[in-house]
Amino acid sequence: MKQLIALFFSFLLVNANAQVFENFTTADGLIDNAVNCLSIESVEKIWFGTQSGFSLYSNGLWTNFDQDSNPELLSNTIKAILGTKDEELWIGTDFGLNHFDGQVLTAYTEADGLGDNKIKCLTQQSDGKLWIGHSDGASVFDRLSNTWTNYGANEGLPFGGVNAIEIDANGIVWMGTGLGGVAMFVDGGFEFITKDDGLLSNKIRSIAFDNKNKAWIATSDGVSVLFLDGTVATNHEFLFDLPAPHTLNPIEDVVIDKGGCVWAGVYIDYLVGEGGMSHFDGDQWQQFEMEDGLIGPVIQQLDIDEEDNIWIATSTGISKLSGLDCDFVPTSTLATPKGIKLHLYPNPAKDNITLQSENKLNINSMRLFNMQMQRIPFNVEQVSMNQLQLNVSMLPKGAYILNVENAWEKIVIE
């Protein structure tokens, strides 16, 4: 039988900005501290997959499920979990897929049509079809018709399986592969974005889309930001400070909150105790570690609830971060040959772009070009000793190239 356990939790105040970490472990009712995955169905209903079964956290109570109480569960080691808009649950294991309607667990394996039993990720389309990433590629399950469609090496996917699947605003399915970069499923075939195209790494762990039509790709070497046409916009290699001489930032997961701020889980498995979560506001990364209140360094997955609380699954329990207000300001940085470092924001922009330096600005040359390298007139105003403002409100929408003291930067007018 399932267990119903009342919650008693402790919390830690992080700083004067009212950021609060709440940490949850088996002492509070969680079935196991080794948490592999989570899925937020609503503020009142959050699912956690662990090494010993799965837990539901709802209205301050924990309900736990394992093979002892639910023999239909294919494995106690839960690798992926997804609570759907229909208030149903999908559970991925190394032995296949379970569906849970709140009462009955149903199993699906290779014998039923699943492409591979080793499940890595789960995503639901708007029409209810379920995308499943696994060690052999990806499968699509239409539960209404009980039909499977499988994609693997024969269909063009590379060796290494699929670790992440997300669907963009245009309905294009993006897959993060284990060794072959990003695969975009377009018109029944695959288009690939790899390290040769500017990705930091071909080892993809997670994908998230912002409200500016960009994809944030978590890789083994940092975060790559892509336009939806697949071209690389920028890369973030150093999200999390490490003890010298180490600099590698393997990203386990990336999510984006309502304000557009980006959250990334970082874990460096060859450095015991080094890992945590980093947050990007469009200008700089801020990291959170155990000393800030995070329950542990081994980040497995992140998710964000309707109130913009960040939930963090780790190997030592669950953390919830609340109270951090963030409004994303898309920023790019330009460094001139003279050593002037400029922050450009917002970029993309609609009306004005601000150029700001830490020191007094003394710029003698600034030019703007369209993508055909034709020079474009524009207005600029110095609003303070270290700040200039470009008026771009009269320019047609599109991409432009800004040259400041022989340093080049792409800007986008929306």
Long-range CB contact pairs, 373-381, < 8 A, 24+: 373/401, 376/400
Cα–Cα distance for residue pair 215/226, rounded to 1 Å: 5
Cα–Cα distance for residue pair 165/138, rounded to 1 Å: 9
DSSP-derived 3-state class of residue 365: coil
30 contacts 24 by C-beta, under 8 angstroms: yes
Name the stretches of the chain with pLDDT < 70. Answer: 1-18, 327-330, 358
Long-range CB contact pairs, 365-370, < 8 A, 24+: 365/403, 365/404, 365/405, 365/406, 366/402, 366/403, 366/404, 366/405, 367/402, 367/403, 368/400, 368/401, 368/402, 368/403, 369/400, 369/401, 369/402, 369/403, 370/398, 370/400, 370/401
Ordered DSSP codes for 12-38:
EE--TT--EEEEE-TTTT-S-S-EEEE
101 contacts 72 by C-beta, under 8 angstroms: no
Supply the pLDDT for residue 18.
57
287: β partners: 278
Q: For residue 75, what are the contacts with CB-CB under 8 A and spacing of at least 6?
A: 67, 93, 94, 95
Q: What is the pTM of this model?
A: 0.81
Q: How many CB atoms lie within 10 A of CB 317?
A: 23
Domains of the chain and CATH, by start: 3-322 (2.130.10.10), 332-413 (2.60.40.10)
99: β partners: 90, 106
Q: Which of 349, 352, 347, 321 is nearest to 225 (CA)?
A: 347
- As given in the structure block, the two tokens for residue 34 are 């080794």
Give the DSSP letter of residue 129: P
65 contacts 91 by C-beta, under 8 angstroms: no
Q: Which of 10, 23, 84 is nearest to 314 (CA)?
A: 23
